[in-house]
A and B are shown apart, each in its own frame.
Chain A
Amino acid sequence: MDEEDLADARASLGGDGAAFARLVGRHQQAVAAQLARFTRDRGLREQLVQDTFVEAWRSLSGWSGRAAFAAWLRTIATRVGYRFWREQARARATQDVDDPRLQSALARAAGTPQAVQPREAAELLHALLAQLAPRDRLVLTLLYWEGCSVQDAAERTGWSRTMVKVQAFRARRRLEKLLPAGLRPEER
């Protein structure tokens, strides 16, 4: 796939739209899966996927080909998703963690996440992390939802490894304070 990506990226730089469409076709599903962590709304997610590829096209000449195209694209998608959160931060309408349905799912998931369906787990994690400021939300999404290593998270965000660890520690503390009583670590 890397060879194909390289060939199509070069052709795209030469103005070949079909080559860029092939790149989009190969990677759009992975980008959509990543951006599902940034929004649960399908329409918005498609818009963010589109924005990611438009941004990728604009900075295609900056892709050296040394790193995998997919990895380069993930960094762009992270930036697009984070920018979306920041824009939404003021007017964000999030599910309240005091919502009884959410509390029940949280209680079932605590300790035994297999008790909830993957979609429910995703909804839960999204609702929980949406309570946080964009920086906190980003670091926890990358580390716990995407399963990134500290190094990966540092590369995606452009932060240092130390910064990622510090930000994650603080974000976890802030998240714990937002949890309903009974689900906070010290109360279990």
Chain B
Amino acid sequence: MDERDLQRLGQRAREERVESVDVRGRVLAELARARRPEPPDRALLAFAAASLAAAAAMTIFALPVFQALEEPLAGLFAGAGIGPR
């Protein structure tokens, strides 16, 4: 079997009649599925909410500590109506 045989065999094979197909419904269904937004991942949302709550709690606790460290005399002058500077 040489190149010419291959050409002749290909030519013969091209005469084959392929069964008809109809994929219109399947294609449109696939496109509709692709267009639909993905439902939110509930576990991920719960984890994000828990993380946010933990971060907020840490901020509420850490802010006075940070302020006290940065301005140690602020409490002393708070009632006198004057600042440390």
Contact = CB atoms under 8 A, between A and B. Distances in A.
A166 interface: no
B24 interface: yes
Give the residue among B5, B20, B21, B27 with the most A Cβ atoms within 10 A.
B27
A144 B27 contact: no
Contact of A124 (B9, B22, B24): B9
Interface in B5-49: 5-24, 26-28, 30-32, 34
A25 B3 CA distance: 36
B31 to A, nearest CB: 6
Given A17-B28, A54-B30, A57-B31, A114 B21 contact: no
A177 B23 CA distance: 40
Contacts of B16: 36, 118-119, 121-122
Interface in A37-81: 42, 45-46, 49-50, 53-54, 57
B70 interface: no
A145 B21 contact: no
A133 interface: no
B2 to A, nearest CB: 4
A121 B21 contact: no
A32 B9 contact: no
Interface string A15-47: 001001100110011001100100000100110
A113 B24 contact: no
Interface residues of A, number: 45
Interface stretch (A3-11, A83-91, A104-112, A150-158): A104-112
Contacts of A185: 1-2
A42 B34 CA distance: 25
A13 interface: no
Given A24-B24, A49-B23, A147 B1 contact: no
Contacts of B28: 17, 20-21
B1 A50 contact: no
Contact of B10 (A29, A57, A125, A175): A125
Interface of B: 1-3, 5-24, 26-28, 30-32, 34
Interface of A: 17, 20-21, 24-25, 28-29, 32-33, 36, 42, 45-46, 49-50, 53-54, 57, 106, 109-111, 113-114, 116, 118-119, 121-122, 124-125, 140, 143-147, 172, 175-176, 179, 183-185, 188
